[in-house]
Structure formats: structure tokens, C-alpha cells
Amino acid sequence: MADVSSKEATSRVAVAKGCITMNEKAFHAVLEGVVKKGDVLGVARVAGIMAAKRTAELIPLCHTLSVDACSVELTPLPNTLAVEACCTVKTFGKTGVEMEALTGVSIALLTIYDMCKPIDHDMIIGNVRLWKKTGGKSGQ
């Protein structure tokens, strides 16, 4: 685990994004709310937030952080039959929240996959990346 004991606490924000592409039948089922397991986007949003808050339990050597704010936005992209996930995490602390934002996006997308797999086993999760960060030495 990295030693952050001598670092200054600052306001820190991380934004991560990713996408899941699916077939037309699955995409329309998500939009129309007819997936058997329920409200795909609502469940995925909550799953992403829950995962971001528990990142230190999932990733070895990751600091346990106080998450002061977390949001997951899910945007359907009809032209590509995809859903984009965007997770924003905020804290005031000695280390950043990049891993929390990336975990939130990843779990939101995996939740969509899980809920839609009876319709489409060929969905593709991709382009998961850190979009933006502020705070700390490298993100001022």
C-alpha cells in the first residue's frame, strides 16, 4: 500500500467512462423497460455507486476512502446500440478516487451485461478509462 501519511488532504474528483454495445433487441428491451430482471439502467446505476463505495474491499492495496459524493450516469447511444456509463466520485483526502470511479463504471457495465445476457451473449464492454481527475499533485 502506498504511504500517503505525509500528503496534504485536498478536494479530489475522478470521472471514469466506459461503454457496452449490444444487439438491437437487447438495446430496445433496455430502453422499453422489458428486461425480465427489471429496470436495467436503474439497477446498474445503484450497483455502480455501491461498487465505488466498496472499492478497497475489491482491489488489494487500495486505500479505504471516505466517498463524499458518487454518481453514475447511463446514456443510451442509439446510433451505436450502446450504453455509455460515466461515474463521478468526490472526496476530501490524501489520495485520489480514480480507482473508485473506474470500479463504479466497470460494475455498472457488468450489471447491464448480467441483466441482458438472456437476450444477447455477444455484448461488448469496452473503452473503460479515466476521463478526468482533479486534486492532488498531478490533477490540480
Per-residue pLDDT of 48-94, as tens digits, reads: 999 999 999 999 999 999 999 999 999 999 999 999 999 999 999 98
> What is the Cα–Cα distance from 51 to 106, expressed in whole angstroms?
9
CATH 3.30.70.640 describes domain 10-133: yes
Of 95, 90, 93, 108, the C-alpha closest to 49 is 108
The DSSP secondary-structure symbol of 43 reads: H
Does residue 136 register a pLDDT over 80? Answer: no
Q: Which of 3, 39, 114, 120 is catalytic?
A: 114
pTM, 2 dp: 0.94
Amino acid of residue 8: E
Active site residue 3: no
User: Residue 4 has which C-alpha cell?
Assistant: 500517503
β-sheet bridge partners, residue 133:
14
